Structure 1
Amino acid sequence: MTATDVLIQMLDAFDGRPDATALRARSYDLLLPPGGPGGPVADVGCGAGRAVAELSERGVRAIGVDLSEQMIEVAARRRPDLDVRVGDACALPFKDGELVGYRANKVLHTLPDPAQGIAEAYRVLAPGGRAVVLGQDWEATVIDSDRPELTRRIIQARAEKVRHPRAARAQRRLLLDAGFREVTVEAHTAVFTGELAMLLVSDTVEACRKAEAVTDVEADEWLGEQRLRAGNDRLFVAVPFFMAAGTRP
Structure 2
Amino acid sequence: MSQLTSVDQIAYLDAAAATTIGRHYKRRAVDALDLRPGHAVVDVGCGPGTDLGRLADAVRPDGLVVGVDRDGRMLAEAARRVAGRSGIDLRAGDAHGLPLDDASMDRVRIDRVLMHVDDPATVLAQVRRVLRPGGVLAVTEPDWDTLAVADDDVETSRRFARFVAGRVRNPTVGRDLVRLSVRAGLRVRSVEAIAVVFEDFGTADRILGLRRNSACAVTAGELTDTDAQAWLGRLTAGPSLASFTLYLVTAEAA
Superposition TM-score, scaled by structure 2 size: 0.89
Give the match for residue 7 of structure 1: 9
Q: For 2:43 and 2:56, how far apart are their aligned partners in 1?
A: 11
The answer as to 2:226 corresponding to 1:217 is yes
2:80 corresponds in structure 1 to 77
User: Does structure 2 conserve the Cα–Cα contact (< 8 Å) formed by 1:192 and 1:237?
Assistant: yes
1:110-131 Cα deviation digits (max 9, x unpaired):
0111111111100111111111
Match of 1:197 among 204, 216, 223: 204
- Please identify, of 212-221 and 119-128, the stretch whose mean Cα deviation from structure 2 is larger: 212-221
* Distance of 1:101 and 1:224 partners within structure 2: 46
**How far has the Cα of 1:87 moved from its partner?**
1.2
Post-superposition offset of 1:37: 6.0
CA–CA distance in 1 between the matches of 2:109 and 2:133? 16
Distance across 2 between alignment mates of 1:108 and 1:121: 12
Q: In the superposition, relative to structure 1, how do residues 64 and 57 fare at CA in structure 2: closer, same or farther (>3 Å)?
A: same
Structure 1 residue 62 displacement after superposition: 1.2
Q: Distance in 2 between matches of 1:210 and 1:93?
A: 41
CA distance in 2, matches of 1:209, 1:87: 37
> Whole-Å Cα distance in 2 between the matches of residues 23 and 95 of structure 1?
29
Among 31, 34, 37, the residue aligned to 1:29: 31
Matched, 1:183 2:189: yes
Quick one: distance in 2 between partners of 1:62 and 1:139?
Answer: 33
**1:218 CA drift (Å):** 2.7
Alignment of 1:74-153 (within 5 A): 74-80=77-83, 81=85, 82-153=88-159
SS in 2 for 1:137: strand
Q: Deviations over 1:67-109 (max 9, x none)?
A: 2110111111122134222210111000111111111000111
Which amino acid in structure 1 is aligned with residue 41 of structure 2? V
The RMSD of aligned alpha carbons is 1.7
Find the counterpart in structure 1 of residue 241 from structure 2.
236
Q: What's the CA shift for 1:156?
A: 0.8
Per the alignment, do residues 21 and 91 of structure 1 end up closer, same or farther by CA in structure 2, a change over 3 Å counting?
A: same
The answer to whether the 8 Å contact 1:128/1:247 transfers is: yes
Q: Is the 8 A contact 1:138 1:166 kept in 2?
A: yes
Cα contact 2:46–2:68 (8 A) shared by 1: yes
Identical aligned pairs, as a percentage? 32
Q: Is the 8 A contact 1:64 1:84 kept in 2?
A: yes
Q: Give the Cα–Cα distance (whole angstroms) in 2 for the partners of residues 130 and 173 of structure 1.
A: 16
- Aligned-residue offset at 1:4: 2.8
> Which runs of structure 2 are paired with 1:52-63 in the superposition (5 Å)?
52-58=52-58, 59=60, 60-63=63-66
1:141-187 per-position Cα deviation (integer Å, ceiling 9, x unaligned): 12111111121111012101111100011001111111111432101
* Distance in structure 1 (CA, Å) of the matches to 2:12 and 2:219: 20
TM-score norm. by structure 1 comes to 0.91
CA–CA separation in structure 1 for the residues paired with 2:37 and 2:137? 12
Q: Tell me the matched-pair count.
A: 242
Contact residue 188 and residue 249 of structure 2 kept, 8 A: no
CA contact (8 A) 1:176 1:183 kept: no
**Runs of 4+ with >3 A deviation:** none
Could you tell me which residue of structure 2 aligns to residue 158 of structure 1?
A: 164
Segments of 5+ residues of structure 2 without an aligned counterpart are none
Question: Which ranges in structure 1 are unaligned for 5 or more consecutive residues?
Answer: none
What CA distance in whole angstroms lies between the structure 2 residues aligned with 1:53 and 1:210?
41
Distance between the aligned counterparts of 1:42 and 1:180, measured in 2?
17
